[in-house]
Amino acid sequence: MAVKQELESVEAIQQGKKRDGFTSAIGVIAATLGSAVGLGNIWKFPSITGQNGGAAFIIIYLLSTLLVGLPVMISEQMLGRKARKDAISTLRDLSPKKQPWWLVGAAGVLAAFLIMAFYTEVAGWVFAYIFKSAAGGFLSTDPAVTSQAFMNLVVNPMQSLIWQWVVLVMIGAILMLGVSKGIESTTKKLMPVLFVILVAICVRSLTLEGAGEGLRFLLQPDFAKVTWTTVLVAMGLAFFKLSTGMGTMITYGSYFRDEQDIPATATKVMLADLLVSMLAGIAIFPAVFAFGFEPDAGPSLLFITIPAVFASMPFGNVFMVLFFILAGIAATGAMLSLLEVPVAFINEKLNISRPVATVATVVLLAVIGSTAALSNSTLAEVKLFGLTFFDLFDYTTSNILLPVGGLLIAIFVGWVWGKEKITDALTNAGVLKNEWVVNGFYVIVKFVTPLLLILVLLRGLAIL
Ligand code: PHE
């Protein structure tokens, strides 16, 4: 029966009778989790955790995820499903007349471009590393050598640009197939593979002699390194991780099925995403410690330390290739959702066909993204506020645009939309008996989330 329904709905979409969307409960989870899981788990989470004292940071990150990230994720999916439109139109349609909430959606489209600008570059390095490590290119246990190999890639303008374009073309090609046949079916295939590879690498890392120290680093808190900036960074990461604060979850929510239990779906995705982050930490830190490397290597951890770590272990080359395939898979699901925000807007709002909207977005991104791609070469000396384009896009999105976007979404839902509409949307018009979940969500999104965000944003600004 379920299969029959699924087929019927795919058919209706193909015939243009119905707005494209996710066709099954599993599809919703795969696509949403595919969006959440990304370079955030494999590139950002381990390096930020390494720089901010390990377990202590993880505790603060966990609280941020629960009290800030998750409520905003539920809010966005709820709004998207209610309006069934792109992010900008959703906020415009659902807000009272003359209130310019659509600007939050517009800021989301901007954020999607800025994130994609640097994200596609890192994803480009990941794909380059799959091929280079498969060819045996990084087989050295000496970080000076692996660092040189990384430098050769990033300071070469042509290589940086080409890998970024490869990534953009690949994502564009999947998106052109549409929401159900492109995004949903791709993520449904990729997510299980991601878990299998991740677990295999964890087993390898944990069975190394001296792995215990790395685990301790991940699990034993040291609060000495925690400052207000750490809290801001944790909140920024929570938003980035859950793809919230910028319209992605509004856009994906607009493809959710009517019967989807939104709070349950969001919670499952949040937990699975957390699991992937922790597993990525377990895949990386025990091995880093076992071979005597430093955990606080920052963003270069992935491209300089990790290859040296893998080269130090038996069958290291196989695991290195697997590791970068894993990172590539993770990045793919996330990029599909990032690009879908402008594509949906251009397609539906501006009434331009989906393939043309996709090509336009990809071309625009190749232009904006080139400033990030060339940040280590041609444009290395061009700085705004002391940051290269790459760092500027990364910093402003995570620490300003997403938290401010999330704050406004929480205020909109808690104070403008109100309890009645929330209850109707989250109980699926009374079908789900989840009153206590709805009440808890309401109190958190109305008071706790905005208060915490305002506090941390003000502190963060004062520190700057
Ligand atoms: N959540 C993705 C990651 O962790 C990044 C992302 C941010 C995707 C915002 C969509 C929107 O890599």
| Residue 16: per-residue pLDDT | 61
**Paired residues of 384 in beta bridges:** 387
| Residue 459: per-residue pLDDT | 81
Ligand 1 geometric centre to CA of 5 (Å): 31
| Residue 9: per-residue pLDDT | 61
| 3-class DSSP state of 387 | strand
| Residue 115: per-residue pLDDT | 96
**pLDDT tens column, 240-286:** 999 999 999 999 999 999 999 999 999 999 999 999 999 999 999 99
Relative to the CA of 240, which ligand 1 atom is closest? 7
| Residue 5: per-residue pLDDT | 64
The percent helix, strand, coil of the chain (3-state, each to 5) is 75, 0, 20
Mutate to test the pocket of ligand 1, among 35, 39, 65, 113 (most ligand atoms within 8 A of CB): 35
**pLDDT above 90 as % of the chain:** 69
**Paired residues of 387 in beta bridges:** 384
Relative to the CA of 36, which ligand 1 atom is closest? 1
Please tell me the distance from the alpha carbon of residue 75 to that of residue 439, in angstroms, as a whole number: 13
Which of the residue ranges 131-145, 304-318, 426-440 would you say has the lowest mean pLDDT? 131-145
Q: Is the CB of 249 under 6 A from ligand 1?
A: no
Pinpoint the alpha helices (H) of 15-142.
25-36, 39, 45-51, 55-64, 70-83, 87-94, 102-134
Relative to the CA of 41, which ligand 1 atom is closest? 4
- What are the C-alpha distances in Å from 38 to residues 106, 120, 243? 23, 12, 10
Q: Is the CB of 337 under 6 A from ligand 1?
A: yes
For 218, residues 6+ apart whose C-beta sits below 8 A from its C-beta are 49, 54, 55, 58, 278, 281, 282, 285
Ligand 1 geometric centre to CA of 431 (Å): 31
Q: Is the CB of 338 under 6 A from ligand 1?
A: yes
Relative to the CA of 330, which ligand 1 atom is closest? 12
Averaged pLDDT for residues 435-448: 97
What is the model's pTM? 0.94
Q: Tokens standing for 444?
A: 């958190």
| Residue 10: per-residue pLDDT | 61
**Paired residues of 181 in beta bridges:** none
Check if CATH label 1.10.4160.10 holds for domain 23-250+261-460.
yes
Averaged pLDDT for residues 49-55: 85
Ligand 1 geometric centre to CA of 237 (Å): 9
The secondary element (H helix, E strand) that includes residue 206 is helix 185-206
Confirm if 369 and 386 have CB atoms less than 8 A apart.
no
**pLDDT tens column, 163-215:** 999 999 999 999 999 999 999 999 999 999 999 999 999 999 999 999 999 99
Averaged pLDDT for residues 439-464: 88
Spell out the domain ranges in the chain: 23-250+261-460
Q: Which parts of 179-299 are beta strand (E)?
A: none
- Name the DSSP class of 95: S
**Residue with CA at minimum distance from ligand 1 atom 4:** 40
Ligand 1 geometric centre to CA of 235 (Å): 14
**pLDDT above 70 as % of the chain:** 95
| Residue 86: per-residue pLDDT | 97
Mutate to test the pocket of ligand 1, among 183, 243, 273, 397 (most ligand atoms within 8 A of CB): 243
Report which of 339, 357, 385 is spatially closest to residue 120, judged by C-alpha positions.
339
Please tell me the distance from the alpha carbon of residue 242 to that of residue 252, in angstroms, as a whole number: 12
Ligand 1 geometric centre to CA of 242 (Å): 6
Residue 367 pLDDT more than 90? yes
Ligand 1 geometric centre to CA of 238 (Å): 10
Query: Average model confidence (pLDDT) for the chain?
Result: 92
Mutate to test the pocket of ligand 1, among 338, 393, 399 (most ligand atoms within 8 A of CB): 338
Please tell me the distance from the alpha carbon of residue 438 to that of residue 430, in angstroms, as a whole number: 11
**pLDDT tens column, 319-365:** 999 999 999 999 999 999 999 999 999 999 999 999 999 999 999 99
Ligand 1 geometric centre to CA of 38 (Å): 6
DSSP string for residues in 431-455: TS--HHHHHHHHHIIIIIHHHHHHH
Q: Tokens standing for 330?
A: 């993770």
